[in-house]
A and B are shown apart, each in its own frame.
Chain A
Amino acid sequence: MTRALLLLSLLVAMAPPAEAQSRRAPARPPGPRRVEVGVGGGVAGGLSLGTRDASLVSNNTAGSPFRLFATDTRLAPAPVIEGRVGYHVTRRLTVEGVMTVGRPELTTSLSGDAEGAPAVDATESVTEYVITGGALWRFATDARRWTPFVSGGAGVARHVHEDQSLIESGVDSYVGGGLIYPLGSSRASAPRSGLRLDARLHLLSGGIAEGAGLAPRGAITGSIFFTF
């Protein structure tokens, strides 16, 4: 996956500039750049997956729970890489698909054993793929300075466990915002390349978060993008 994203970014970088093309064909002014491709990286925040007791049934008429041991499970913060493809519907509105890949550590703290077994943190690594579709709205159309935006969307989060024997899929939805900074610009169209900073709040339900309700987590990413 990482290799595919790098290849895509190289292809975009090697494409001849649109300005040069227009010099070769002066009779045809360039159309608006509508397709945007971006790659970057960042950090996905931790995710609490809930607490649960391993319980027996007590020897009484109520059958009340007897705790054998307690568990507290969470997904640790982890670096992610991000790939993005967007389409500029208007100068302010972009629809886009985003894929992030990370490898967070899943940790379950085991404690409070009824027979005094020492508490431990049980761990495993999971590979996380989040694929979402969404929309982005720019608050300004001046392509020469930092431009704030808001975004939102939803998709699927897949978690592949350490030995690749178990794959869990849940629904990931997000809202966020950020800033876009042009590296090259034209008044007539979107910047031909630029930097983008994103801050998002993700809500995960189902999959690895099954039983934990709507599990929130933050994510911050930075990326470089190209339009053509």
Chain B
Amino acid sequence: MMRPVAAWLLALGLVVLGASPASAYLQLSLTLRGQVTVIKWNQTPVRWFSSRAEAPGVTAAQFQSAANAAFGTWEAVPAATIAFQYAGFTSATPSDDDDGLSVLGFESHPDMDRTLAATGFTIDLFSGAIVESDIFFNTAFDWSTSGAANAFDLQSVATHEIGHFLGLGHSALGETELQAGGGRRVIAAASVMFPIAFGRGITTDRVLQPDDIAGVSNTYPAGDFAQDTGALLGRVRLGGRGVFAAHVEAFNLRTGDLVGGFSLNQEGEFAIRGLSPGLYAVRVEPLDDASTDSFFDDPGTDVNFRATLSDRVVAVPKGGSSASIDVTVPSK
């Protein structure tokens, strides 16, 4: 009999004016018994509870409705099999970890003045399966369910956090600028999973982007997803060596879809999976739009190179992988 070994493993937050890097879709993973294991739910539908906590301007019912809509957004991805089941209100809180309940709700964390919300997990350390996930929304900020100009959009932030709830990490598909008072302001993004939130009153993150859709579809593939999509393979090189944790962006020249990935080993190799078959342009950039530790625990992230457009057009086949390309980047 396998007994779940509970671990309060990760807490991924969506920050405001905070320091977090961005890159294309990233599946959360652990090294278990020497094997890199993607963490994900192994059984669906996933039951979730809504806490009864309220915030100024948002009732518990409004909170539940916004969260339900955000779950529905992920559930509606045609190429993914994930499903959810609302299990009701609970007096449990998101901070009650390892209670067997996945709870979403408001909590007050005034000390976390740059964290809008955060997601935590309990993982079965034998299988890598998520057995519980909780999300808190910080009442230190103003919230709205109607897109009010002076508050953060609850449904947009919930959509981001539910991406973590599903096992997705942060995406780096975005551009930021440094703020005079510290931290970064996002200029633009192409993924709900970008780690820095859009401003107050902006509801665009209620809608998933191609990068998010590729991520959830690759984690919970439906039917013929693997046969209907392909992978773009390559290496990022700098001065003859591989670059670890470079952000690689694949741009479909026909559809305009932008999907990202990372070089994930010391050889600089990357594989962006779940792409629509077609021709792609490739761009590589350093993870310099936020702090690198919001993506990787590894301190070896290399950001000392400049953004580069590849001189190869890459054909991604249906149900297979492209020929591997090398992208050589110049140092800063």
Contacts and interface: CB of A to CB of B under 8 A. Distances in A.
Interface of A: 49, 52-61, 63, 66, 68-69, 71, 73, 106-108, 110, 113-124, 161-163, 165-166, 210-211
Nearest to A53: B256
Contacts of A107: 313
Contact of A110 (B203, B277, B279, B309): B309
B322 to A, nearest CB: 6
B255 to A, nearest CB: 8
A210 B279 CA distance: 11
Contacts of B186: 59
Given A57-B190, A211-B254, A123 B202 contact: no
Given A59-B185, A106-B313, A68 B175 contact: yes
A108 B317 contact: no
A165 B187 contact: no
A58 B199 CA distance: 10
Per DSSP, chain A at the interface is: strand
Contacts of A124: 312-315
Interface in B241-298: 249, 251, 253-256, 258, 277-279, 281-283, 285
A56 B172 CA distance: 11
18 contacts: A55-B190, A56-B187, A56-B258, A57-B188, A57-B189, A58-B187, A59-B198, A61-B203, A63-B202, A63-B204, A66-B175, A71-B251, A116-B306, A120-B310, A122-B313, A165-B230, A165-B315, A165-B317
B175 A162 contact: no
Contact of B309 (A59, A117, A210): A117
Contacts of B29: none
B249 A166 contact: no
Residue of A107, A117, A120, A211 ringed by the most chain B CB atoms within 10 A? A117
Given A54-B258, A122-B281, 5 more contacts: A52-B254, A66-B188, A69-B283, A113-B309, A120-B310
B202 A117 contact: no
Contacts of A114: 175
Contacts of B320: 165
A59 B25 CA distance: 20
Given A68-B175, A71-B281, A210-B254, A166 B315 contact: yes
Nearest to B258: A54
Contacts of B221: none
Interface string B102-138: 0000000000000000000000000000000000000
Contacts of B308: 117-118
A71 B209 contact: no
Given A66-B175, A66-B187, A117-B307, A54 B281 contact: yes
Contacts of B173: 56
Given A60-B202, A166-B317, A108 B253 contact: yes
Contacts of A123: 311-313
A126 to B, nearest CB: 8
B234 interface: no
Residue of B188, B189, B306, B318 ringed by the most chain A CB atoms within 10 A? B188
Contacts of B307: 113, 115-117
B13 interface: no
A114 B203 CA distance: 24
A163 B281 contact: no
B281 A117 contact: no
Interface in B180-195: 185-190
B201 interface: yes
Given A57-B204, A117-B307, A163-B323, A73 B253 contact: yes
A122 B174 CA distance: 23
A163 B247 CA distance: 25
B46 to A, nearest CB: 28
Contacts of B175: 56, 66, 68, 114-115
A61 B198 CA distance: 9
A113 B175 CA distance: 12
A119 to B, nearest CB: 7
A59 B315 contact: no
Contacts of A120: 309-311
A120 to B, nearest CB: 5
Contacts of A53: 256
